[in-house]
Amino acid sequence: MDLMERVNESVADTISLQQEFFKEQGEAVAAAARMLAGVFKAGGRVFIFGNGGSAADAQHLAAEFVNRFQIERPPLAALALTTDTSILTAVGNDYDFNEIFAKQLRALGRSGDLAWGISTSGASPNVIRGLQAARELGLKTLACCGRDGGEMAPLADIPLIVRSKNTPRIQEVQITIGHILCDLVDFLLYPEKFAD
């Protein structure tokens, strides 16, 4: 197989998985957008978290909400729980790495907020514990997970499960989900900005 064959194979795999996911779970994505928009409209905050590439996605999506996505609008209250190295290392050192998100949610989360966990496996213990803490606190919960959803899916009000075992392909679908959610939230909150 030459390089272009590998390129074309990767693109075909991504397109196929994207199409499969949105055909099966497009309504769940729309429901997630309505849930997110409702939280923002009511003055709540969205906390996003994950590990590795999912941590990067958490930061990326929080920035889209706080700054802007594609339209000019007021900032939306979103926070990535993956960015404060002092908190992450203090909790990891003094307690356990699996508590890094749960501790932050217990400190910051309030009823009316939303916790959004991201994991390609659906089995990350610290993301699972974060979602468990969120539920105990009365937060709404959203999960973007891969494979069969793992332990994360049952902890989410809305689980968005990318049914694949291929980590890069799962991540590609998850960031597409994130971008679509950003667009739909803007559309729901500021429909006048989309009028022609």
Q: Is the pTM of this model over 0.95?
A: yes
**Residue 22 predicted with pLDDT over 80:** yes
Instruction: Give yes or no for residue 195 having a pLDDT over 90.
Output: no
CA-based angle 158:162:163, to the nearest 5? 120
| Average pLDDT in the chain | 97
Place of tokens 């991201």: 118
Q: Give the 3-state secondary structure of residue 63.
A: helix
Report residue 91's pLDDT band, with 50, 70 and 90 as the boundaries.
Answer: very high
Q: Hey, what domains does the chain have and what are their CATH numbers?
A: 45-190 (3.40.50.10490)
Residue 1: is its pLDDT beyond 80?
no
As given in the structure block, the two tokens for residue 103 are 């501790």
The answer to whether the beta carbons of residues 154 and 160 sit under 8 Å apart is no
Q: What percent of the chain has pLDDT over 90?
A: 98
